[in-house]
Amino acid sequence: MKPLQPTLYELADDGHSLNFFFAQCSACGGLSFPANAPGCMHCGEPLSQATRITRPGGGELLEFVTLHVPLLPGMAAPSIAGDIRIAPGIVEEGVMAVADESALKHGMAVRAVAEVKPEEGVYACRFVPVNEGAAQ
């Protein structure tokens, strides 16, 4: 099974959680995501000399909404998108693997887990509340 987005994450040792890849800038020390970005998102320094950092994927859920219709061809709907602060100064939109919005609260901690897509032979990144057990 391969990651759907191999430059962003890998499966953690528990076989379910995801680790994210960051680049740590050699000039300012700031983290950038994704790690293959062509410049530091904080100071603009080329990241060719950056250190690759692997961290457990997750962060703080800042906002979330339900996508009631497919905004892109083939997209599942309804689904829930959330803005998550995955590191200081880095906010990324992610897909929430919960049944509905009632499972979510602003400011809650979420973690990245693998959602297996067996027909495609890949796993995708989904976010669940930290205290929730298995991925959906």
32 contact partners, CB below 8 Å, separation of at least 6: 22, 23, 24, 25, 39, 40, 41, 42, 47, 50, 90
Q: Is 40 exposed, middle or buried (0-12, 13-18, 19+ CB in 10 A)?
A: buried
Write down the least CB distance from residue 41 to other proteins, Å: 8
> b/e map of 71-100 (b: 16 or more CB within 10 Å)?
eeeeeeeebbbbbbbbbeebebebebbbee
Among 1, 62, 109, 130, binds other proteins (CB under 8 A): 62
Residues between 80 and 119 that touch other proteins (CB under 8 A): 81, 83, 85, 89, 91-95, 106
For residues 115 and 132, which CB has a smaller minimum distance to other proteins in the complex? Answer: 115
Q: Kindly state the smallest distance separating residue 133's Cβ from other proteins, in Å.
A: 21
Query: Which 28-57 residues touch other proteins, going by CB under 8 A?
Result: 34, 36-37, 41-42
CB of 79 to other proteins, least distance (A): 8
Question: Which residue type is seen at 71?
Answer: L
Q: Which residues bind other proteins (CB under 8 A)?
A: 5-8, 34, 36-37, 41-42, 62-69, 71-72, 75, 81, 83, 85, 89, 91-95, 106, 125
